[in-house]
């Protein structure tokens, strides 16, 4: 038995060895069955690389242009850009521009105040004014309507070709107001005197656009005059008094606690009116204000429980968040106002002591259908005798039983009482509190200049009528309050309204010389709250084939676009108006967010004096820090600018053609020619930039003859694979040559105004230029243009390369050249190269035609340019070959970046702040957008991937002198268990405690420098249409109250 056992053990050991050997051999067979020979792939890559570079270099003329710049190398001076000096100079230019705008507004203020001083109110005044809605309207008999006389409107290019009247203003009156109300008619009458100043301002500064006066009575006088159109319901919702510029100019920053009665008596329509009243109050709060909302019955209910006991900044996101929570309020129980008042006073006091908030005005807004008491003891405890917290009371409903108590509370605390019976009454009654808060500023006669952050007001007619390719126009507004100067009304502090003018962000960009900032450099400005005034990233983003943008674009914090600055070092320094430098590695998305450029930026920043803004300049390390000056004669340069293929960046300011009307029709090229020949001595031009344009024109001129000779040689390009050659220089000069007729171009939009990313813009160089600059000198970058549609339907390939002056990293990139060719032509070259082999008998061991392998050509961001399945062109490689892409990431051949963090809740498709409230999910989250970049040092890689029951092999080989890689993948081993890798954005949701922390967290901000919260001469008896107090306070409090009202 033991012998048998030993025999069995021996046999078992032998069997185990045999089985292991067999199994190993089997694995080797499976694993090596599709081993792809690296040498063959290397041959294919080399053959294709040589062929395609030869075509790109030949048709672009890159070597000729490089040679021409080299010839001038000894005659140019290379300078390192001094970032601090540059940002200070730009800030000074902006300061002067802003000052001109504010002086125009100041002249309007003086004219308005003088006109009102001379005017005597006439309740019976009849005056036919130009009503913006009724102008040029006729009745059925052909007669002009009342207030609708003939008003000449002519399209004007300075106002986006909208029909306007540059001699007169016209007047818009909100739909819910009577056109011929005596207060409006009198206001319109005395404000007619502004017409002369509007015209005079425009003559002095022809770059001005819309100027206006928003009256405290509700009408809006706008210059130039324009026709307003009601919406489909015949309504114009616009009311100038709830616009950000009006509120900022009229009042000082404020901390506000809104108390909403949700007791049982508030059921039904009353609660609906109360919610609308809260919403309208929120409309009047701006980024310098802080607030919270408490609903009360026998208990307190914070509308956002997370923010118990504190206030938050009234930015758009926070206001919309609270609006959503208002819908959850319902009425029940008994109203215990004393508890709510105690909470509100304590909260305001404690918040004030933290040093956060406005540290200026404070107010409690009480929205209720009645109060059974006057709560004198509470006011005596917290608010008297100083009355630093104003009480505004809103009586909801038609009953007036408790009106006296609410009036008394408002009047005893320097506030205002109003009764709201219907939804139509809400807006007008809410506005009353603004006039009360403006009193101290009016009595002080302080005409503070205010500037808004960048915003879009899509309710204005000029915004609705604009057919701009970016949609609506981003702007900032400079505004100043207009006061009554009549001595007899001084203590009442009567605000007449606010005057303002808009400054498009594009106007700011004109003061920034893009040519001095380098290829990736840019300038940006932020407000005292850290919100962006201008930044190249403040533009539409792309998702699922659609543009998505921030609603109104207001309240976009710098930290959202410079998101790599995790500790807000740059943001906080700029908010605090410091001057200095900061550096960090950044990942900038380009090409509709599909690609990423990784670079190191140096940021320089300083404040813009006379404004709440700070300016920053970002310069990329390396070539972005250097500038060079060439020198040629004016005659040489002018001769070479005459070529028909030359164009200049339309959005760059070579010459200021806005200053004089006769120059506005000129292109920048025409302006330069007339300036240099002395035909237009009034033109103001950038001499330094023009000198460099002349130099680039001379150096690049020979390429035109080179391209022409190629086009004329019929044997060349016989299959018309190459369609366009182009070049661009650092000065915004472009040259284009077509090798086919314009009607034969595959991509008709390329290099046209419709193709924004591929032309010189005010804030960026063309995409093909930016990407070429980051390639190794002498190599080409190839790409397929992405469609904004879900399916990529591109049929062309773009190739470009950078031209450097010197052979080191400190050399400025002076130009970029490239070609666009048919995709089918490009792919045919690839398939031809992939059929080559090194065997003497011409029989190839492996070919891309084999079923056993798949061949791809991908770029450095992982997008497919060539695949055997044509439909995969333009797809991300990870979606098609997830297992291989995963392995490449693991091996370090590709890197994955997550870019652009945004609050999901802030994005939706509508742009307007109309009466109806948009329903949206306001759940805070970060959105991460993945992007992929190849590792430059990896030239070739082989790999095996362990799949379910086989090994999948692949080879990746760099294409020489390019950003491309050939990938050959085993097609017989399927790795279905490894999911595809996509570029879909990832939303990171937060739990309740994290959401709460995000809501509570407040970034550093700088308060406005002026505060007019109180004035000892203020007449507090103007508090809601009652001259005295009709409620009867306890007798013991009378001496105290007499003391209060004497203050």
Average of pLDDT values for 779-791?
75
Residue reference for tokens 């890798």: 981
- Cis omega (within 30 of 0) for bond into 224: yes
Asked if residue 167 has pLDDT above 70, the reply is yes
Where is average pLDDT lowest: 424-438, 708-722, 732-746, 820-834? 708-722
Please say whether the beta carbons of 347 and 1006 come within 8 A: no
Please say whether the beta carbons of 329 and 295 come within 8 A: yes
Burial of 485 (0-12, 13-18, 19+ CB in 10 A): middle
- Cα distances from 350 to residues 311, 312, 347, 355, 710, in angstroms, run 10, 13, 5, 9, 78
Average of pLDDT values for 353-381?
93
Asked if residue 9 has pLDDT above 60, the reply is no
Tens of pLDDT, residue by residue over 44-100, are 999 999 999 999 999 999 999 999 988 888 888 888 889 999 999 999 999 999 999
Average confidence score pLDDT of the chain? 84
pLDDT of 113 reads 96
pLDDT of 435 reads 87
- Cα distances from 11 to residues 6, 7, 934, in angstroms, run 9, 6, 54
Determine how many CB atoms are found less than 10 A away from the CB of residue 138: 11
| pTM (predicted TM-score) | 0.84
416 DSSP 8-state letter: E
Question: Angle, to 10 degrees, between the axis of helix 62-71 and the axis of helix 38-60?
Answer: 60
Average of pLDDT values for 128-143?
91
- Cis omega (within 30 of 0) for bond into 385: yes
Alpha carbon distance 222, 172 (integer Å): 8
pLDDT of 20 reads 39
Please say whether the beta carbons of 519 and 528 come within 8 A: no
Average of pLDDT values for 789-812?
75
pLDDT of 290 reads 94
Residue 556 tokens read as 């976009």
Average of pLDDT values for 1009-1015?
82
3-class secondary structure, 783: strand
Residue 812 tokens read as 């400025």
Measured in whole angstroms, how far is the alpha carbon of residue 119 from the centre of its chain?
A: 44
Q: What is the CA radius of gyration of the chain?
A: 35
Sheet holding 475-483, edge to edge: 170-172, 220-223, 211-215, 495-504, 475-483, 450-451
| Nearby residues of 661 by Cβ (< 8 Å), 6 or more positions away | 158, 206
Tens of pLDDT, residue by residue over 632-681, are 888 988 899 888 889 999 888 899 887 777 787 888 889 999 999 888 87
Where is average pLDDT lowest: 260-269, 324-333, 342-351, 486-495? 486-495
CA angle 237, 243, 245 (to 5 degrees): 155
Q: DSSP string covering 445-502, please?
A: T----EE--SB--TTSHHHHH--BTTBSPPEEEEEEEEE---GGGGGGT-EEEEEEEE
Please say whether the beta carbons of 765 and 742 come within 8 A: no
Tens of pLDDT, residue by residue over 829-850, are 999 998 887 665 666 778 888 8
- Residue whose C-alpha is closest to residue 615's, from 672, 558, 662, 565: 558
pLDDT of 77 reads 85
Q: Give the pLDDT band of residue 1029 (cuts 50, 70, 90).
A: very low
Q: Which letter, b or e, does each residue of 747-786 get, where b requires 16 or more Cβ atoms within 10 Å of its Cβ?
A: beebbeeeebebbbbbbbbbbbbbbbbbbebbbbbbbbbb
Tens of pLDDT, residue by residue over 221-272, are 999 999 998 878 888 878 899 888 998 899 899 999 999 999 999 999 999 9
- Residue whose C-alpha is closest to residue 859's, from 789, 786, 787, 790: 786
Alpha carbon distance 59, 818 (integer Å): 8
| Nearby residues of 30 by Cβ (< 8 Å), 6 or more positions away | 950, 951, 973
Alpha carbon distance 591, 787 (integer Å): 10
Asked if residue 904 has pLDDT above 80, the reply is no
Helices of type H across 154-313:
182-191, 194-204, 244-250, 269-283
Q: Which of residues 906 and 1020 earns the better pLDDT score?
A: 1020
Q: DSSP string covering 571-607, please?
A: HHHHHTT--EEEEEEEEEEETTTTEEEEEEEEEEEEE
- Cα distances from 900 to residues 522, 877, 890, 987, in angstroms, run 18, 22, 23, 11
Asked if residue 2 has pLDDT above 50, the reply is no
Residue 932 tokens read as 């992929």
pLDDT of 164 reads 94
Average of pLDDT values for 991-1010?
76
Q: Which long-range contacts (CB under 8 A, 24 or more apart) does 1041-1045 make?
A: 1041/412, 1043/385, 1044/384, 1044/385, 1044/387, 1044/412, 1045/1020, 1045/1021
Tens of pLDDT, residue by residue over 190-210, are 999 999 999 999 999 888 989
Burial of 585 (0-12, 13-18, 19+ CB in 10 A): exposed
Tens of pLDDT, residue by residue over 171-188, are 999 888 889 999 999 999
Average of pLDDT values for 900-908?
39
| Nearby residues of 91 by Cβ (< 8 Å), 6 or more positions away | 606, 607, 608, 609, 615
For 1013, half-sphere exposure in the C-beta direction (CA atoms, 13 angstrom radius) is: 19
Average of pLDDT values for 284-290?
90
pLDDT of 842 reads 61
Helices of type H across 285-425:
316-326, 337-353, 376-382, 403-411
Where is average pLDDT lowest: 156-160, 300-304, 777-781, 969-973? 156-160
Q: Which of residues 696 and 537 earns the better pLDDT score?
A: 696
| Nearby residues of 724 by Cβ (< 8 Å), 6 or more positions away | 736, 737, 738, 739, 745, 750, 751, 819, 820
Asked if residue 742 has pLDDT above 70, the reply is yes
Q: DSSP string covering 948-997, please?
A: SSSEEEEEEEEPTTBSEEEEEEESSS--TTSPP-----EEEE--HHHHHH
Q: Give the pLDDT band of residue 757 (cuts 50, 70, 90).
A: confident
Residue 453 tokens read as 């952050």
Determine how many CB atoms are found less than 10 A away from the CB of residue 114: 13
pLDDT of 400 reads 81
Alpha carbon distance 640, 49 (integer Å): 35
State the DSSP H helix or E strand holding residue 156, giving kind and residue range, or none if neither. strand 154-156
pLDDT of 717 reads 63
Asked if residue 565 has pLDDT above 70, the reply is yes
Q: Which long-range contacts (CB under 8 A, 24 or more apart) does 147-156 make?
A: 147/179, 147/180, 151/225, 151/227, 153/225, 153/226, 153/227, 156/224
Determine how many CB atoms are found less than 10 A away from the CB of residue 342: 16
Q: Give the pLDDT band of residue 598 (cuts 50, 70, 90).
A: confident
Altogether, the residues listed in the chain come to a count of 1047
pLDDT of 3 reads 47
pLDDT of 472 reads 56
Average of pLDDT values for 597-619?
93
Asked if residue 289 has pLDDT above 90, the reply is yes
- Cα distances from 843 to residues 829, 833, 971, in angstroms, run 20, 15, 21
Q: Give the pLDDT band of residue 24 (cuts 50, 70, 90).
A: very low
Residue 483 tokens read as 């006061």
Residue 948 tokens read as 């379910």
Please say whether the beta carbons of 281 and 289 come within 8 A: no
Where is average pLDDT lowest: 755-764, 827-836, 894-903? 894-903
Asked if residue 10 has pLDDT above 60, the reply is no
Strands 951-958 and 940-946: antiparallel
pLDDT > 70: percent of the chain = 86
| Terminal alpha carbon distance of the chain | 119
């Amino acid at each position: 038995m033991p012998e048998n056992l030993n025999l069995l053990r021996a046999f078992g050991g032998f069997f185990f060895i045999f089985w292991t050997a067999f199994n190993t051999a089997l694995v080797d067979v499976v694993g090596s069955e599709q081993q792809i020979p690296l040498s063959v792939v290397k041959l294919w890559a080399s053959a294709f690389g040589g062929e395609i570079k030869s075509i790109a270099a030949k048709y672009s003329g890159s070597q000729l242009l490089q040679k021409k710049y080299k010839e001038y190398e000894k005659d140019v001076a290379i300078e390192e850009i001094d970032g601090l000096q540059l940002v200070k100079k730009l800030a000074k230019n902006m300061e002067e521009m802003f000052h001109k705008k504010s002086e125009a507004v100041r002249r309007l203020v003086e004219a308005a105040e003088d006109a009102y001083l001379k005017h005597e109110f006439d309740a019976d005044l009849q005056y036919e004014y130009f009503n913006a809605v009724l102008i040029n309207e006729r009745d059925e008999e052909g007669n002009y309507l009342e207030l609708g006389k003939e008003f000449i409107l002519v399209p004007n290019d300075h106002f986006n070709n909208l029909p306007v009247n540059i001699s007169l203003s016209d007047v818009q009156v909100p739909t819910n107001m009577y056109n011929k109300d005596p207060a409006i008619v009198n206001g319109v009458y005395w404000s007619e005197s502004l017409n002369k100043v509007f015209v005079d301002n425009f003559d002095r500064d022809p770059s001005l656009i819309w100027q206006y006066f928003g009256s405290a009575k509700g009408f809006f006088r706008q210059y130039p005059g324009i026709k307003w159109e009601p919406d489909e319901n015949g309504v114009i919702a616009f009311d100038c008094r709830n616009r950000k510029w009006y509120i900022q100019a009229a009042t000082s920053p404020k901390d506000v606690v809104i108390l909403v009665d949700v007791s049982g008596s508030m059921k039904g329509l009353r609660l609906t009116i109360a919610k609308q009243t809260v919403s309208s109050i929120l409309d009047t709060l701006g980024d310098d204000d802080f607030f919270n909302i408490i609903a009360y019955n026998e208990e307190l209910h914070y509308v956002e429980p997370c923010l118990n006991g504190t206030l938050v900044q009234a930015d758009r996101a926070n206001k919309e968040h609270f609006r959503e929570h208002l819908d959850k309020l319902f009425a029940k129980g008994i109203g215990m106002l004393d508890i709510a008042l105690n909470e509100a006073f304590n909260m305001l006091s404690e918040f004030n002591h933290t040093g956060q908030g406005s540290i200026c005005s404070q107010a409690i807004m009480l929205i209720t259908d009645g109060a059974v008491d006057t709560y004198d003891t509470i006011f005596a405890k917290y608010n008297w005798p100083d009355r630093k917290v104003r009480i505004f009371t809103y009586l909801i409903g038609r009953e007036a039983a408790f009106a006296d108590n609410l009036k008394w509370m408002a009047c005893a605390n320097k506030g205002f009482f109003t009764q709201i019976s219907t939804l139509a009454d809400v807006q007008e009654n809410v506005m009353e509190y603004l006039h009360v808060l403006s009193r101290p500023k009016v009595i002080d006669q302080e005409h503070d200049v205010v500037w808004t952050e960048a915003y879009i007001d899509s309710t204005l007619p000029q915004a609705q009528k604009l057919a701009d390719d970016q949609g609506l126009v981003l702007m900032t507004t400079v505004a100043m309050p207009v006061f009554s100067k009549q001595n007899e009304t001084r203590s009442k502090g009567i605000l007449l309204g606010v005057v303002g003018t808009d400054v498009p962000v594009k106007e700011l960009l004109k003061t920034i010389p893009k040519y001095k900032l380098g290829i990736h450099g840019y300038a940006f400005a932020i407000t005292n709250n850290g919100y962006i005034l201008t930044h190249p990233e403040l533009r539409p983003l792309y998702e699922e084939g659609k543009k998505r943008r921030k609603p109104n674009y207001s309240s976009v914090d710098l930290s959202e676009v410079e998101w790599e600055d995790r500790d807000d070092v740059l943001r906080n320094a700029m908010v605090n108006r410091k001057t200095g430098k900061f550096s960090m590695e950044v990942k900038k998305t380009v090409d509709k967010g599909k690609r990423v450029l990784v670079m190191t930026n140096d940021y320089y920043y300083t404040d813009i004096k006379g404004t709440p803004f700070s300016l920053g300049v970002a310069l990329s390390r390396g070539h972005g820090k250097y500038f060079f000056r060439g020198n040629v004669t004016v005659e040489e340069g002018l001769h070479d600018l005459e070529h028909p293929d030359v164009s200049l960046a339309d959005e760059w300011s070579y010459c200021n053609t806005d200053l004089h009307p006769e120059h506005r029709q000129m292109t920048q090229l025409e302006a330069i020619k007339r300036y240099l020949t002395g035909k237009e001595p009034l033109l103001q031009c950038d001499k330094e930039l023009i000198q460099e344009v002349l130099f680039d024109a001379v150096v690049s001129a020979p390429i035109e003859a080179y391209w022409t000779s190629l086009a004329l040689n019929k044997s060349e390009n016989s299959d018309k694979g190459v369609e366009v050659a182009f070049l661009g220089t650092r000065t915004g000069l472009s040259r284009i040559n077509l090798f086919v007729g314009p009607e034969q171009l595959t991509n008709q939009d390329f290099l046209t105004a419709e193709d924004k990313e591929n032309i010189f813009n005010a804030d960026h160089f063309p995409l093909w230029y930016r990407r070429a600059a980051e390639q190794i000198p002498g190599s080409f970058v190839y790409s397929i243009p992405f469609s904004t549609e879900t399916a990529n339907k591109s049929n062309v390939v773009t190739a470009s390369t950078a031209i450097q002056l010197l052979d080191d990293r400190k050399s400025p990139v002076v130009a970029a050249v490239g070609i666009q060719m048919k995709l089918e032509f490009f792919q045919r070259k690839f398939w031809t190269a992939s059929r080559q082999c090194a065997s003497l008998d011409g029989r190839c061991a492996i070919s891309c035609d084999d079923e056993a392998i798949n061949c791809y050509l991908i770029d450095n961001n992982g997008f497919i340019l060539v695949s055997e399945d044509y439909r995969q062109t333009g797809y991300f490689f990870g979606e098609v070959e997830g297992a291989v892409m995963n392995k490449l990431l693991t091996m370090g051949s590709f890197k994955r970046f997550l870019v652009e963090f945004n609050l999901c809740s802030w994005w939706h498709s509508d742009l307007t702040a109309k009466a109806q409230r948009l329903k949206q999910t306001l759940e805070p989250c970060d959105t991460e957008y993945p992007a992929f970049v190849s590792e430059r040092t990896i030239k070739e890689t082989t790999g095996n991937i362990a799949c379910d029951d086989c090994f999948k092999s692949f080879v990746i080989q760099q294409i020489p002198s390019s950003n491309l890689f050939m990938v050959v993948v085993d097609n017989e081993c399927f790795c279905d268990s490894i999911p595809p890798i996509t570029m879909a954005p990832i939303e990171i949701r937060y739990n309740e405690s994290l959401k709460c922390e995000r809501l509570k967290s407040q970034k550093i901000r700088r308060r406005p420098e002026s505060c007019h919260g109180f004035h000892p001469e203020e007449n507090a008896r103007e508090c809601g249409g009652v001259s005295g107090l009709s409620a009867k306070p306890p007798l013991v409090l009378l001496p105290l109250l007499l003391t209060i009202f004497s203050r």
